[in-house]
A and B are shown apart, each in its own frame.
Chain A
Amino acid sequence: MAPFIPEGIVNPQLNLFFALVLGIGFGYVLEQAGFSSSKKLAGVFYGYDFVVLRVFFTAGITAMVGLLFLSFMGWIDMSLVYINPTYLWSAIIGGVIMGFGFILGGYCPGTSIVAATTGKVDAMLFLAGSMIGMFIFGHFYNQWEPIYTGYFQGNPFVYESLGISKSWFAFLLVMVAIIAFAVTQNIEDRVNNTPSQIKDQRPSYALPAMLLMLAMFSYLFLPEQRKSNASEIPPDQLHALLQDPNRFVDVEEATYKIIKQDEDLVLIDVRSSEDFERFSLPGALNISMEDIIGRRYREFFNNSDKKKVFYSYSESSAQLAWAVAKRAGFENIYILQGGLNGMFATIFDSPDQPGDPYDLEEEFSIRFISKAKQMFLDGEALPSEPTTPLPVKTIIELETAGVSGGC
């Protein structure tokens, strides 16, 4: 079901709109937490106010628990969620620079914008400074580039590096958070010399903390994960569809679309890339089975306007890929009847003269096939200039728009 945009539930064109709504919400929360005051932000370094730690720990824990339970129930496919990749040295250097800026200026980039909108002059200066920093970064980008894009670590997970399971890590992190909340409250009270009557008036967080711990504790004993996704079709339906004769596109239709260079029909070659490079049908895309359910072509497959036809040498591999795609819930997908072998047998091994002179349908079909044969032989069916297929382009745009978080 989720993530909504890769799964095609929400139009990717609305990306910026949702960014605006979420941005306003984020700014509101930061402001309400008191992050528009640099005194409050710097408090975490001096020990008189730990609200920064509490707010971000809470946000992280909430997101983690939500994602864990949603993905357990099959409502969100974590493999489709964009994870900011790790570039080791650029992260370390950037972190150090940001730490210095935080101590010097009293803000981090997000909170400086919040504070500037509330009219704080120091925050406006801070923003101007970060603009200068951005300018320097952009201007000398070529110099930093080896560091900025180097030392690529992929997407490592903390629990993998620690060698523990995901659920144990989540449990431990929740425990650490709860302990940290209690300890920092204690430090804060000591530094501030909080009078005891104020301490007594605070609400008690005992029950929520207990329930959160209970939830994470029971998560440890839940089975690994649901095997089926909410957007997938059940096995019985897949089984029935595998026997449905309508899953095929016949050779004549595919040939007609190739000759017409019709962009509403996309041929998908599921053979290996070596086979694809040796020969492929004009305009075909080479998509492996992993990519069918991966992130890269998600947008393309969710777009059910285009007829997508899987082919391989025969129907065998094409049907497997088709079944995988069908299970994932993709619509408007078909298999090329007979595969490449069947297609070439029909076009090049068929008689030129109709057997029955009075069968008009047969005559038309044979006339079409012999015309197609001629066009294929002359190379007329090929696009005059190899153009980049349309879907690939949009995918790249989508990938660049990977949402990267940060406060």
Chain B
Amino acid sequence: MNATKNLNNISLLSFGFVAIVVLANLFTTNNYGRANREVVESLNNTPFMANYQLLRNIVNEETNDYQLIDLRPEQSFKIGYLPGAVNIPFDRLLETESLKTIRKISPKIPLLYGADEPCAQSARLLLIAKGLNDNIMVLGGNYEKAFNYGIKNFDPAFVNYKDEKAQYDFNRFMNAGSTGSPERAPRPAGIIPAATVETQSAAGGC
């Protein structure tokens, strides 16, 4: 039976091909532990900013649930650090040893700070993308701010300090145009109709 033979050969070949590719895929290192979509979900849905009251509680040993992690380079760490902090420089964050250290911290919650806030935030993003537990917190501001406002002279006015806040009334500077309307840059009108236009696409069907 020639036809049967051909069919069998073709199916064996394609099955073998798929099997080899899947196996090769399984054994190559899986770089990320979370898909990009999951990372974004975690960034949007988990509250992760810590304030200086919490820092104060940690330093005064009123709570034992957190472990401070200093992301600055070793030299800066040697000069000074927040009490109880562990040094994991940002440029060595993804090394096996650093990841192991952070994993060992649990059930305590890692609380990151660095030379600036973006650095600490990015470190959190990288750790989450690597597949670590997304219960990682970030201290607002940087080391100097945290030390000054949180420990040295604790100031309730700065307790919720973070970078991501408007420091100016921007409209006063930019909106001096003749219109004077506060909504000078409205959402592009084109975005909204997209859904309605989409519905009218010629839906096929046999």
Residues in A lying within 8 Å of B, measured CB to CB? 69, 72-74, 79, 84-85, 87, 94, 98, 108-111, 149, 152, 203-205, 207-208, 211-212, 214-215, 222-223, 225-229, 232, 234-236, 238-239, 242-243, 273, 275-286, 289-290, 292-293, 296, 312-317, 319-320, 323-324, 327-328, 339-341, 344-345, 347-348, 376-379, 381-382, 386, 388-389, 392-393, 395-396, 399-402, 404-407
Contacts and interface: CB of A to CB of B under 8 A. Distances in A.
Contact of A404 (B130, B188, B197, B202): B202
B175 interface: yes
B153 interface: no
Given A314-B163, A323-B125, A98 B206 contact: yes
27 contacts: A69-B22, A79-B37, A84-B203, A84-B204, A152-B199, A203-B7, A204-B7, A207-B7, A207-B8, A208-B10, A212-B11, A222-B26, A226-B25, A234-B31, A275-B166, A277-B186, A281-B174, A323-B125, A340-B166, A340-B170, A344-B167, A344-B173, A376-B174, A379-B175, A386-B185, A389-B190, A406-B204
Range for the number of chain B residues in contact with chain A: 35 or more
A228 B35 CA distance: 6
B84 to A, nearest CB: 24
Contact of A314 (B118, B185, B197): B118
Interface centre among A215, A239, A324, A395 (most CB of B within 10 A): A239
Contacts of B26: 222-223
B67 interface: no
B171 A211 contact: no
A68 to B, nearest CB: 11
A320 B122 contact: yes
A226 B171 contact: no
B198 A228 contact: no
Given A392-B190, A402-B198, A316 B36 contact: no
A345 B52 CA distance: 25
Contacts of A378: 176-177
A313 B174 CA distance: 15
Contacts of A214: 15
Contacts of A212: 11
A205 B198 contact: no
Interface in B98-144: 116-118, 121-122, 125-126, 129-131
